[in-house]
Structure 1
């Protein structure tokens, strides 16, 4: 069983000391999706909505979310995201009786003493929330779902790859 790294021997919360950890190339991939009505997806895809190119704005929001992770998650270390953060989308269209969705996948990378899983997960959430914000006036029923880590590589704990298939 793993130990909880954010607690000291007395059970007090603390920031993990990463000073002695190896500097390695670390990557993480996270994903999530936002379900919406097909007509809402059509508005996003046209790229000429009131708030402009929604997916272009969302890509920037995801990158910004990754960069601000340590400001949002109390015990996260601020890290340099280099080589960087990639935010990608795939669209799933369904018939008019069912919801459509946009899946957001983020790959974050760093060379350092701590991983980038939280940055990838925060970027996904930020991107999906930005889609919601951009289209809430026409579809308040949108649902953010299935946010999860797909894989991570580097560091002392090694690699992790989710065995559950993606949507």
Structure 2
């Protein structure tokens, strides 16, 4: 996955892993409002993007969008408590500083999880949806253990690909209907 977010707004720590992929959309970039798409996402939408997605809830507090997602990745369940840190029509950054990962669904570990999305034009009539998520480990030992246990990010890359395709398809469908 050679795609990058330009400019990326997610800080990268000493013990961080990042996964980025892009997905084509057959619409002009200026026709898409990523902020609107995310803010209007329902739990039904979220769970339809991947069989790994279990639940989602969003609400605003003091003008800031907060979202909680629950999903299974590999053999682990993760509960992410996101705060929208940056939002523009073509670029979002959500960050969960205290995500709860339940290894084998019962051993809790706390990690940070940034989630960044961007729409970037590829031509006058097409664009790409770029999606990044990562893990910010609290220490080197946990990062090394996860590298072995998580098969070098295999489960995360597979999940990113599956949900990224569904996200792009949904964005294209929703904003084609508004044209």
Higher relative contact order (CA 8 A, sep 6+): 1
Name whichever structure is richer in strand by fraction. 2
Considering only CA atoms, is the larger Rg found in Structure 1 or Structure 2?
1
TM-score (normalizing by structure 2): 0.41
TM-score (normalizing by structure 1): 0.43
